[in-house]
Amino acid sequence: MKTMNTKASFFLSTFVFLTFFHLSLVSCRKIISGRVENGFTLDLIHRDSPHSPFYNPSNTQSNRLRNAFHRSFSRASFFKKSSLATPNTIQSDISPIPGEYLMKLSIGTPPVEIVAIADTGSDLTWTQCKPCENCFEQSSPLFDSKKSSTYKTAGCDTEECTSIGSSSCVKGNVCEYQMSYGDQSHTIGDLAFDKFTFPSTSGKDVAIPNVAFGCGHDNGGTFNNYTSGIIGLGGGEVSIINQLDKEINGKFSYCLISIPLDSPISNVTSHINFGSSATVSGPGVISTPLIKKDPSTFYYLNLEGVSVGNKTLKFKSSKIGPGGEEGNIIIDSGTTLTLLPNDFYSSLESTLVNSIRATRKDDPSGTFHLCYESENGTIDAPTIVTHFTNADLELSPSSTFAQIEEGLVCLTIVPADEIAIFGNLAQGNFLIGYDLVANKISFKPADCTKY
């Protein structure tokens, strides 16, 4: 992940698009080059899905939710440190814990497939490259730029080089990026341009030339062998979203299936849409402004309050991050839980306790704060509505109270120190569209297994 002009982090996030076509089949699929008239759609594979390289069939639903809890707090720590960072700072004090969604795409000519962690909290996309002075093991071959006829390094005076803020020119006119993490993990390499090929679910792959990315020649630390880097889907200048602006006009949308709450053998995938196919319209659509803040990487919304049944709590906190009250919560697909500042969370929890007539029970692991006994995996809980500016979003009961183990149901909204994050469980059952030109996010109730 990365703050504006400064940071990157390997763990989260966001989004990783995973399709099921091998390189041997790529040449058999039709590839569309140039402008994308009708948009395109990619698969989003949750890290706990059977299609994910992270999938562990021995993990129970309880294991998955508890692991997601800890990843959510690592994510929050990153956002907190990133949002408070000073310009040209590229250090973060957290480990790059893998994010929630995985992606496959191809780089170069001929195309070489990579698996990466897609992240709405990152801008720069990077992958490990040959020759590699120091690399972590990965399951797929390293990208070899010498074998790509469309590869070229970025010069030091290019807009992309100056925008990342963590570059140098020790090798002549080749822009070299450097990013490091608090656990001494790092990636160093050449900023470059090459053709990116996106495996559309329509069967017509989409090829975009001259996409800027990091070709990492020195990478190490706690990265794992399931992925080769990250895909940046943030709001900054070098993110994939902004680099494809002419093709997608600043629009993308997704509909997330909550894998941790579904059967572990589910083969249904989530999807992400780009361009005209990402437009969210029709009955039931509500929209709220996207708030631009520093860093520009993160997507901020303005949360005005939360309703529990017929009681509305005005959202306010003594610690809501930089930039004042406008834009007080980050919407993030790479964080599972919804995190609210401690002082506001306390009011929300006590209101829920007064409204729920079930038997309260402690979580034996101490992971979740508000839990109840349940014979069938549900409780009779009041409706929770998040009130964003101009958009009242009624959350699904199955996403706000989850069964973390047999007989125990817990609230998936948890307290955090200084950051508010609207996580992916709360986003379930909505088609969510981002429009970076109109600066708005739209929500439409949806059955995400059909999108």
Residue pair 229/216 in contact by the 8 Å Cβ criterion: yes
Q: Say whether 16 sits in a helix, a strand or coil.
A: strand
Question: In terms of Cα–Cα distance, which of 129, 96, 102 is closest to 116?
Answer: 102
440 CB burial (10 A radius; 0-12, 13-18, 19+): middle
Question: ∠ CA 101-107-113 to the nearest 5 degrees?
Answer: 60
Beta-bridge partner residues of 185 = none
How many CA atoms, within 13 angstroms, populate the side-chain half-sphere of residue 233?
29
Cα separation, 287 vs 270, in Å, equals 22
Residue pair 263/247 in contact by the 8 Å Cβ criterion: no
Cα separation, 174 vs 177, in Å, equals 10
Alpha helices in 193-341 (DSSP H): 240-243, 245-248
Instruction: Please enumerate in sequence order all residues whose Cβ is within 8 A of that of 125, keeping only pairs 6 or more positions apart, or say none.
Output: 116, 211, 212, 213, 214, 229, 230, 231, 232, 238, 239, 240
Q: What are phi and psi of 408, to 5 degrees?
A: -135, 120
User: Which of these is catalytic: 43, 48, 119, 190?
Assistant: 119
Reported as type and span, the H/E element at residue 70 is: helix 61-83
Q: Is 119 a catalytic residue?
A: yes
Cα separation, 235 vs 80, in Å, equals 17
User: Which of these is catalytic: 190, 194, 332, 435?
Assistant: 332
Residue pair 204/193 in contact by the 8 Å Cβ criterion: no
Q: Is 190 a catalytic residue?
A: no
Pick left, alpha or beta for residue 82 (phi over 0 → left; psi -120 to 50 → alpha; otherwise beta): alpha
Q: Give me the active site residues, please.
A: 119, 332
